[in-house]
Amino acid sequence: MSNGVRERAVGRAKGARRRGAVTRRTLPGLSVLVAAAALTLHAAGGVAAQPSPAHRSPAGCAAPAAGAPNGKQWPAEPGQAIDPATGYTATLETNCGTVTVALEAARAPRTVNSFVFLADQQYFDHTRCHRLTTQGIFVLQCGDPTAVGTGGPGYRFPDENLAGATYPAGTLAMANAGPNTNGSQFFLVYQDTQLPPNYTPFGRVVDGLGVLTGIADAGVRDGSGDGAPATDIVLNSVSVTRG
Protein backbone atom coordinates (compact mmCIF):
# COMPACT_ATOMS: atom_id res chain seq x y z
CA MET A 1 0.00 0.00 0.00
CA SER A 2 1.33 3.41 -0.93
CA ASN A 3 1.24 6.08 1.74
CA GLY A 4 2.10 9.02 -0.49
CA VAL A 5 0.32 12.31 0.07
CA ARG A 6 -0.57 14.66 -2.76
CA GLU A 7 -2.37 17.93 -3.37
CA ARG A 8 -6.16 17.82 -3.56
CA ALA A 9 -8.42 20.21 -5.41
CA VAL A 10 -12.10 20.87 -4.88
CA GLY A 11 -14.54 18.07 -5.62
CA ARG A 12 -14.82 14.36 -4.96
CA ALA A 13 -12.00 11.97 -5.83
CA LYS A 14 -13.94 8.74 -6.22
CA GLY A 15 -12.73 8.62 -9.81
CA ALA A 16 -9.10 9.31 -8.93
CA ARG A 17 -7.95 5.76 -9.50
CA ARG A 18 -9.71 5.66 -12.86
CA ARG A 19 -7.80 8.79 -13.86
CA GLY A 20 -4.50 7.52 -12.47
CA ALA A 21 -2.36 9.66 -10.21
CA VAL A 22 -4.03 12.77 -8.89
CA THR A 23 -2.69 15.78 -10.76
CA ARG A 24 -1.71 19.09 -9.26
CA ARG A 25 -3.90 22.11 -9.89
CA THR A 26 -2.75 25.68 -10.38
CA LEU A 27 -4.71 26.82 -7.35
CA PRO A 28 -3.20 28.66 -4.41
CA GLY A 29 -4.79 26.36 -1.83
CA LEU A 30 -3.29 23.21 -0.43
CA SER A 31 -4.92 19.96 0.52
CA VAL A 32 -3.25 16.80 1.72
CA LEU A 33 -4.25 13.49 -0.01
CA VAL A 34 -3.82 9.87 0.81
CA ALA A 35 -2.60 7.89 -2.18
CA ALA A 36 -3.40 4.57 -0.51
CA ALA A 37 -4.42 1.90 -2.99
CA ALA A 38 -7.42 0.65 -1.00
CA LEU A 39 -8.67 4.04 0.13
CA THR A 40 -11.29 6.16 -1.59
CA LEU A 41 -10.25 9.81 -1.41
CA HIS A 42 -12.47 12.79 -0.77
CA ALA A 43 -12.18 16.54 -0.78
CA ALA A 44 -14.09 18.39 1.87
CA GLY A 45 -17.05 19.71 -0.07
CA GLY A 46 -20.52 20.32 1.38
CA VAL A 47 -19.43 21.37 4.83
CA ALA A 48 -22.93 22.58 5.67
CA ALA A 49 -24.45 19.09 5.37
CA GLN A 50 -25.81 17.38 8.47
CA PRO A 51 -23.66 14.71 10.17
CA SER A 52 -24.52 11.09 9.54
CA PRO A 53 -26.62 9.57 12.35
CA ALA A 54 -23.89 6.94 12.72
CA HIS A 55 -21.47 9.57 14.01
CA ARG A 56 -21.52 11.53 17.22
CA SER A 57 -20.33 15.04 17.96
CA PRO A 58 -16.97 15.16 19.70
CA ALA A 59 -17.30 15.58 23.44
CA GLY A 60 -16.83 19.14 24.62
CA CYS A 61 -17.63 20.78 21.30
CA ALA A 62 -19.62 24.00 21.23
CA ALA A 63 -21.10 26.17 18.53
CA PRO A 64 -18.32 28.03 16.68
CA ALA A 65 -17.67 31.62 17.67
CA ALA A 66 -19.47 34.20 15.55
CA GLY A 67 -17.45 35.47 12.65
CA ALA A 68 -16.19 34.62 9.17
CA PRO A 69 -12.74 34.14 7.62
CA ASN A 70 -11.20 37.36 6.33
CA GLY A 71 -9.82 35.67 3.22
CA LYS A 72 -6.95 38.13 2.83
CA GLN A 73 -4.47 37.66 -0.02
CA TRP A 74 -0.85 38.72 -0.41
CA PRO A 75 1.23 38.85 -3.60
CA ALA A 76 4.35 37.37 -2.05
CA GLU A 77 5.67 35.46 0.94
CA PRO A 78 6.14 37.78 3.93
CA GLY A 79 9.63 38.95 4.74
CA GLN A 80 11.48 37.07 7.44
CA ALA A 81 10.43 38.61 10.76
CA ILE A 82 10.92 35.86 13.33
CA ASP A 83 14.05 34.98 15.26
CA PRO A 84 14.82 31.28 14.67
CA ALA A 85 16.52 31.15 18.06
CA THR A 86 13.34 32.26 19.85
CA GLY A 87 10.61 29.93 21.05
CA TYR A 88 7.16 30.33 19.51
CA THR A 89 4.00 28.70 20.80
CA ALA A 90 0.80 28.54 18.76
CA THR A 91 -2.57 28.33 20.48
CA LEU A 92 -5.35 26.92 18.31
CA GLU A 93 -8.69 27.71 19.96
CA THR A 94 -11.19 25.38 18.32
CA ASN A 95 -14.86 25.01 19.12
CA CYS A 96 -13.94 21.58 20.51
CA GLY A 97 -11.09 22.69 22.76
CA THR A 98 -7.61 24.17 22.74
CA VAL A 99 -4.59 22.68 21.00
CA THR A 100 -1.18 24.11 21.93
CA VAL A 101 1.77 23.63 19.60
CA ALA A 102 5.46 24.36 20.07
CA LEU A 103 6.67 25.73 16.72
CA GLU A 104 10.07 24.64 15.43
CA ALA A 105 11.46 27.93 14.20
CA ALA A 106 15.07 26.77 14.09
CA ARG A 107 14.24 23.82 11.83
CA ALA A 108 11.65 25.49 9.62
CA PRO A 109 12.16 29.26 9.84
CA ARG A 110 10.32 30.24 6.67
CA THR A 111 7.37 28.00 7.48
CA VAL A 112 7.09 29.28 11.03
CA ASN A 113 7.52 32.85 9.80
CA SER A 114 4.60 32.42 7.40
CA PHE A 115 2.42 30.75 10.04
CA VAL A 116 3.14 33.50 12.56
CA PHE A 117 2.42 36.16 9.94
CA LEU A 118 -0.92 34.60 9.01
CA ALA A 119 -1.89 34.12 12.65
CA ASP A 120 -1.06 37.77 13.38
CA GLN A 121 -3.26 38.75 10.44
CA GLN A 122 -6.09 36.65 11.94
CA TYR A 123 -6.13 34.73 8.69
CA PHE A 124 -6.95 31.42 10.40
CA ASP A 125 -9.70 32.80 12.64
CA HIS A 126 -13.18 31.37 11.95
CA THR A 127 -11.89 28.86 9.39
CA ARG A 128 -13.13 25.27 9.30
CA CYS A 129 -10.88 22.26 9.48
CA HIS A 130 -12.17 20.82 6.25
CA ARG A 131 -10.70 17.33 6.14
CA LEU A 132 -10.33 14.36 8.49
CA THR A 133 -8.72 11.05 7.59
CA THR A 134 -9.36 7.97 9.73
CA GLN A 135 -7.79 5.37 7.42
CA GLY A 136 -4.34 5.16 5.87
CA ILE A 137 -3.12 8.35 7.50
CA PHE A 138 -4.54 10.00 10.59
CA VAL A 139 -4.72 13.75 10.17
CA LEU A 140 -7.00 16.73 10.64
CA GLN A 141 -6.43 19.29 7.90
CA CYS A 142 -7.05 23.00 8.45
CA GLY A 143 -5.93 26.42 7.27
CA ASP A 144 -8.16 26.91 4.23
CA PRO A 145 -10.57 29.87 4.50
CA THR A 146 -12.70 28.41 1.69
CA ALA A 147 -13.12 25.12 3.61
CA VAL A 148 -13.08 23.14 0.36
CA GLY A 149 -9.37 22.42 -0.01
CA THR A 150 -8.47 25.05 -2.61
CA GLY A 151 -7.86 28.17 -0.54
CA GLY A 152 -4.61 29.87 0.28
CA PRO A 153 -3.01 33.23 1.09
CA GLY A 154 -1.98 34.08 -2.48
CA TYR A 155 1.68 33.08 -2.12
CA ARG A 156 3.73 29.90 -1.88
CA PHE A 157 7.07 29.13 -0.30
CA PRO A 158 9.64 26.30 -0.35
CA ASP A 159 9.75 23.11 1.70
CA GLU A 160 11.96 22.86 4.77
CA ASN A 161 13.02 20.30 7.38
CA LEU A 162 12.37 17.27 5.17
CA ALA A 163 15.58 15.30 5.73
CA GLY A 164 14.55 12.28 7.77
CA ALA A 165 11.11 13.75 8.47
CA THR A 166 8.63 11.51 10.27
CA TYR A 167 5.03 12.13 11.33
CA PRO A 168 4.27 10.72 14.78
CA ALA A 169 1.17 11.70 16.73
CA GLY A 170 1.28 15.40 17.58
CA THR A 171 3.07 16.53 14.42
CA LEU A 172 2.08 19.82 12.83
CA ALA A 173 3.04 19.87 9.13
CA MET A 174 2.27 21.69 5.91
CA ALA A 175 -0.05 20.30 3.26
CA ASN A 176 1.14 20.95 -0.27
CA ALA A 177 0.51 20.59 -4.00
CA GLY A 178 3.89 19.05 -4.67
CA PRO A 179 7.43 20.22 -3.96
CA ASN A 180 7.81 23.83 -2.77
CA THR A 181 4.12 24.78 -2.93
CA ASN A 182 3.35 25.55 0.72
CA GLY A 183 0.71 28.17 1.48
CA SER A 184 -1.64 28.23 4.47
CA GLN A 185 -3.07 24.72 4.75
CA PHE A 186 -1.62 22.48 7.40
CA PHE A 187 -2.41 19.19 9.07
CA LEU A 188 -2.31 17.91 12.63
CA VAL A 189 -1.41 14.24 13.14
CA TYR A 190 -3.48 12.62 15.89
CA GLN A 191 -2.08 9.08 15.55
CA ASP A 192 1.33 7.86 14.38
CA THR A 193 1.22 7.78 10.60
CA GLN A 194 3.52 6.67 7.81
CA LEU A 195 4.10 9.37 5.22
CA PRO A 196 7.06 10.01 2.95
CA PRO A 197 9.20 12.99 3.96
CA ASN A 198 7.42 15.37 1.60
CA TYR A 199 5.52 17.61 4.03
CA THR A 200 7.34 20.23 6.08
CA PRO A 201 6.99 19.44 9.79
CA PHE A 202 7.15 22.65 11.80
CA GLY A 203 5.67 21.99 15.22
CA ARG A 204 4.69 19.50 17.89
CA VAL A 205 1.50 19.42 19.94
CA VAL A 206 2.36 19.93 23.60
CA ASP A 207 -1.20 20.04 24.91
CA GLY A 208 -4.58 19.14 23.47
CA LEU A 209 -3.86 15.91 21.60
CA GLY A 210 -7.01 14.54 23.25
CA VAL A 211 -9.00 17.24 21.46
CA LEU A 212 -7.77 15.86 18.15
CA THR A 213 -8.43 12.23 19.02
CA GLY A 214 -11.94 13.16 20.17
CA ILE A 215 -12.60 14.79 16.81
CA ALA A 216 -11.25 11.71 15.04
CA ASP A 217 -13.38 9.38 17.15
CA ALA A 218 -16.52 11.15 15.92
CA GLY A 219 -15.64 10.16 12.37
CA VAL A 220 -16.19 11.55 8.91
CA ARG A 221 -19.49 13.09 7.89
CA ASP A 222 -20.26 10.79 4.97
CA GLY A 223 -19.18 7.63 6.77
CA SER A 224 -16.00 7.19 4.73
CA GLY A 225 -12.47 7.30 6.07
CA ASP A 226 -11.61 10.61 4.39
CA GLY A 227 -13.72 13.73 4.19
CA ALA A 228 -15.31 16.53 6.19
CA PRO A 229 -15.45 15.86 9.94
CA ALA A 230 -18.83 14.67 11.23
CA THR A 231 -19.21 17.93 13.14
CA ASP A 232 -17.99 21.34 11.98
CA ILE A 233 -14.56 21.87 13.51
CA VAL A 234 -13.73 25.57 13.50
CA LEU A 235 -10.60 27.46 14.49
CA ASN A 236 -12.23 30.23 16.49
CA SER A 237 -8.82 31.87 16.75
CA VAL A 238 -5.14 31.10 16.25
CA SER A 239 -2.52 33.12 18.10
CA VAL A 240 1.23 32.85 18.59
CA THR A 241 3.18 33.67 21.75
CA ARG A 242 6.82 34.64 21.39
CA GLY A 243 9.53 33.82 23.88
pLDDT of residue 172: 98
DSSP 193: B
H or E, element range at 112: helix 109-120
28-49 pLDDT, tens per residue?
A: 333 434 333 222 222 222 222 2
Question: For position 190, which CATH number holds?
Answer: 2.40.100.10
CA distance 102 to 71: 25
16 pLDDT above the threshold of 90: no
Q: Centre a 10 Å sphere on the Cβ of residue 131 and count the other Cβ atoms it contains.
A: 29
- Spatial separation of the C-alpha atoms in residues 133 and 90, rounded to whole Å: 23
Distance CA 73, CA 92 (A): 21
pLDDT tens digit sequence for 159-182: 999 999 999 999 999 999 999 999
Q: Which residues contact 37 (CB under 8 A, 6 or more apart)?
A: 1, 2
Q: Which domain holds residue 242?
A: 1-243
Contact 96, 196 (CB under 8 A): no
- Number of domains comprising the chain: 1
